[in-house]
Amino acid sequence: MTERESLDARLAAERARWEAAGLRRELALATPALVDFTSNDYLGLARHPQVIEAAREALREYGAGGRASRLLGGGSVFDERAEDAVAAWLGAESALLFPSGYQANVGVVQALIGPGDVLLSDELNHASLIDAGRISRARVVVYRHADVEDLERQLTRIGAAARVLVATESVFSMDGDLAPLADVARVCRARGAWLLVDEAHAVGVIGRDGAGAWSTVADELGGASSRDFDDVLAARIVTGGKALGVTGAFVVGRRSVREHLIQRARSFVFTTAVSPAVSGALCAAIELARRADNSRAKLIRLARALALACGAPTPAAAIVPVILGEEARALDAARLARERGLDVRAVRPPTVPRGTSRLRLVCHSFNTDAELARLAQIARELAPELVTELGGPVGSGVTGGPGGPGGPGAAAAPASTRIVRAPNRHAARAATPCVVAGTDTGIGKTVVSALLARALGARGAYWKPVQTGDESDTRTVIELARTRTFEPGASFAKPASPHEAARAEGRSVDVAGTTRLLGEHAVALGGGVLLVELAGGLSVPWTDEFTQLDWLARERPALVLVARSGLGTLNHTLLSLEALRARGLEPRALFLVGDEHPSNRETLRALGKVALLFEVPRFEPLSTATLELWLARNDLGPLFDEANER
């Protein structure tokens, strides 16, 4: 009973922290009474009579359940029919049906690569691809979003690896933009890597006959088909729960890949087959989606018109993000839209980076110009300082004049019709600050910072707000991690606490200026993680009246705590954790630096209750190579979930 109460109390405290940060999530039912601007049912096939009837027919013939895994006789003949249909649609040799997109991504990555291999993942990839990399136990390298030059740079740095897999979405689920697939494929071929493309938000919406983004790059790749790149493209993921309106997901590719997945993909081998109703409905939905050119053209027209009105980049498909910044603002905007009859949802961290909370607006073939006009009419109340006048009907995508998508003679919208103009997506993005704090001075914060920077690669940068003494921690991190750095906010010659070192020079630490620099550096980095190493212990003063702990309590960044592993660490570390938690701050990890001390480690694990605990030796020699060896044995990926997950 005591353990149950302790668990309940701990979970309640965690929920309270999430709620205080405006990040609590709740289940949300579909609301047919509202106009749908949020679901992924792009073509409206979820309610199509032929899809529903196909599901009923499969139920009548095979019953409700999948009954067992397909290796044990589960499923139905409709599974293979759906696989054949989607493969024919996408011009592939074969396909394999999984119960969900998450399982498909986990299964294909885990089956294709493992320990000793490398996965290169776009920094905005869906959480399922992030988790797939972790489960595979391959080394994961994150490259900048849609940045082919950074991808190539990372590929040149990975060294020897048995297999290298590059994973990207084609249309990204939160930003709605398109990956440069042709250039990514060229780099993969030049570097001997395989390519995995998640087409969840593309198939059914773009491409010839709705066959997805990969079908649109065939000509650019050097011919009427992408046959020259068959050795590069490992597979495509096609989800059944988006444009197809059903559920499940297909891994589409060569027959050899399908056969390999049947043997090795654990999320396929050890799961019950989908219901016959699912695969039966998919058969009908695939046929309808192939012939839905008019519906595709309409939803693309609506999405582009909406993006034009919002000041957002032209969408690749149906998703238009309207970035509002703060979590509360996005929630208030979504709540107001729903009160006015529009189903609009807010997306917040950790699904998107901090400072980019947004309305994720989705256009469908069943939406109308009049419904988009309703959204325009309430836009002034969503964000009045961001709105702009429209020069034509909301659904037309025109600002006036002949030759546009709306055509000559399009009716003018009322002068009062406005819609949110969001900031440019790239301008709004900023790095997530992660502070490296310590229980004392001289305990190894700089080495831990170098480890974190090395693990982040191009996604990270390092900054020391206050440097005291002659030794440059910034220079040390550059030499060890070869990472991007920013100049210290302030430097003082005396090796003492910041307030004393500054006083010795007749100066003082500019707290407001330090905070301003934090924001400027985060924006300059433009995404990823900004590592911020503090000076000395948590309560070291910056001024006579203001400590580093005060600054942490005010800025509330992500943080890790560094402590000694040996004698004296229990008291210092537990008091430091208590001080942080008294201010509502929870470290993501505890790093113990020095010789292994099993008793201290287990005591701090039990009493400290920090989610992640790492032991870091005194490296001999201290070099990039010894850091790399440690990183090969320790997964720091979970530290950066908030910056990575979609």
| Phi, psi for residue 448 in degrees, rounded to 5 | -65, -40
- Catalytic annotation present for 40: yes
Q: What's the token pair of residue 406?
A: 């709306």
Amino acid of residue 339: E
Q: What's the token pair of residue 374?
A: 């309703």
Name residue, tokens 């933009």: 177
- Asked if 194 and 164 touch (Cβ cutoff 8 Å), the reply is yes
- Catalytic annotation present for 494: no
Q: What is the dihedral of CA 32, 37, 41, 45, to 10 degrees?
A: 60
Distance separating alpha carbons of residues 148 and 163, to the nearest angstrom: 20
Give which of 152, 187, 136, 146 is closest to 170, Cα–Cα: 146
- Catalytic annotation present for 242: yes
Task: Tell me the DSSP string of 405-462.
Answer: TT-TTPPPPPTT-EEE-PPPHHHH--PEEEEEEESSSSSSHHHHHHHHHHHHGGGEEE
Strand ranges, E, within 469-596: 484-485, 490-492, 529-537, 541-543, 546-547, 558-564, 589-593
Give which of 101, 99, 95, 98 is closest to 127, Cα–Cα: 101
| Phi, psi for residue 256 in degrees, rounded to 5 | -65, -35
| Phi, psi for residue 511 in degrees, rounded to 5 | -65, -45
Residue of 173, 215, 279, 449 marked active site: 173
Name residue, tokens 């070192």: 501
Name residue, tokens 């595979």: 136
- Asked if 89 and 213 touch (Cβ cutoff 8 Å), the reply is no
Burial of 22 (C-beta count, 10 Å sphere; 0-12/13-18/19+) = middle
Q: What's the token pair of residue 135?
A: 């489960």
- Asked if 167 and 174 touch (Cβ cutoff 8 Å), the reply is no
Residue of 41, 100, 122, 126 marked active site: 126
Residue of 36, 40, 83, 449 marked active site: 40
Residue of 169, 175, 199, 642 marked active site: 169
Burial of 501 (C-beta count, 10 Å sphere; 0-12/13-18/19+) = buried
- Catalytic annotation present for 126: yes
- Catalytic annotation present for 69: no
- Catalytic annotation present for 201: yes
- Catalytic annotation present for 173: yes
Q: What's the token pair of residue 195?
A: 């390519």
Residue of 94, 117, 136, 201 marked active site: 201
Residue of 48, 145, 242, 364 marked active site: 242
Residue of 117, 198, 199, 533 marked active site: 198
Compute the residue count for the chain.
Answer: 646
Catalytic residues: 40, 126, 169, 173, 198, 201, 242
